[in-house]
Amino acid sequence: MKKTLILIAALILSACQQQVSEEVNLYSARKEALMKPLLDAFTSETGIKVNLISSKADALLTRIESEAANSPADVLLTTDAGRLHRAKLAGVFSAVVSDTLIDSIPSQYRDSENLWFGLSVRARPIMLTAAATQIEITRYEDLADPQLAEQICIRSSGNIYNQSLVASSIEANGEASTEAWAKGLVANFARSPQGGDRDQVRAAAAGQCSVVVANTYYLASMLSDTENVVDYQAASKIKVIWPNQEGRGTHVNVSGAGVLKTAPNRDNAIKLIEFLASDTAQKLYADVNFEYPVKAGIELHPILKAWGEFKADSLPLTKLGENNARALQLMDRAAWK
């Protein structure tokens, strides 16, 4: 009888320990409202609880470095390949061997050493209002044309999305050519860079500029929120132009994630990233976040469909991180504030 009780107690203890272990700790630079539908779907499918901490991207990396071996984080999910590369250089990621991720995510959207994986694609095209000049804008390079003087609204050089755009140009056109382009672009600013991508769209709609460079998911979000009449009407005045379709293609980037080398729940961390690359999650990325799925064959949100298909730059996104320091220095020389 005593042995039986001991065995039962051991089984209960083992079950409790297993139940406690069925969790994963996610540090996310994406807003909770954007991630919650995906995380709820993951928990529903796997039974694994997700403990979410959301903050700014740079703050999360600093926190992980400060916590070191004591960090409870299993997964870092952040925006832009440039930030993923910074985390890689900081040495916080560990390589993941997963046929699921390799099969689901094209090679240009994941780290060459499998330290991070892109999970959603965002495009950064050119956007125009009806007030744009008659100059034909078909390439990013056209933004430096003097005929566009005082017509362009774009975020600051401190914005990682712009840094990655410049980094992609360095790879495609070389540093000298990109610097000349950046100086021409700055000369065409309608105002000093300020605000986020939505603010550029609002400024264009208000007549402060006629040309905008912004990520598509911001514009799609404004178009979807019909209750916000001001933003909806502003976004409705904007036309999306897919640049460089006869050449390298439109600049794209990713949000992505990696498993931390100190992850206390490594297996569950891998399961979470694999789920975020699944058909279910990729459809949610498209429907909830207005992003392009990283996985082929996923239906787009109707707003994205309406903009038509486009050729995306096939540049391996690791190059965006590798060229980031040069891009920053170049932008400083161009007086891009």
The predicted structure's pLDDT at residue 21: 53
pLDDT tens, residue by residue, 308-331: 999 999 999 999 999 999 999 999
Phi, psi dihedrals of residue 229, rounded to the nearest 5°:
-60, -40
Domains of the chain: 23-122+253-300 (3.40.190.10), 123-250+318-333 (3.40.190.10)
Q: What is the mean pLDDT of residues 97-111?
A: 97
**Which residues are CB-contacts of 45 (< 8 A; sequence separation ≥ 6)?**
275, 280
Residues 6+ apart with CB under 8 A from 3: none
Radius of gyration of the chain, Cα coordinates, nearest whole angstrom: 22
Q: Which two tokens stand for residue 216?
A: 């598509």
Residue 129 · residue 205 · CB < 8 Å? yes
DSSP state letter for 110 = B
At residue 11, does pLDDT exceed 80?
Answer: no
**Is 331 in a helix, a strand, or coil?**
helix
| E strands in the chain | 23-28, 49-54, 75-79, 93-94, 117-123, 126-128, 152-153, 211-213, 239-241, 252-260, 292-293
Mean of the per-residue pLDDT values for the chain? 93
Contact 47, 22 (CB under 8 A): yes
- The average pLDDT across 230-240 equals 97
Only one residue has tokens 């050449």, namely: 247
Say what the pLDDT of residue 85 is.
Answer: 95
pLDDT recorded at residue 33: 85
Tens digit of each residue's pLDDT (9 = 90 or more) over 43-93 = 999 999 999 999 999 999 999 999 999 999 999 999 999 999 999 999 999
What phi and psi values does residue 241 have, to the nearest 5 degrees? Answer: -115, 125
d(C-alpha 251, C-alpha 323), whole Å: 15
pLDDT higher at 125 or 16: 125
The predicted-structure confidence for 44-56, as pLDDT tens digits, reads as follows: 999 999 999 999 9
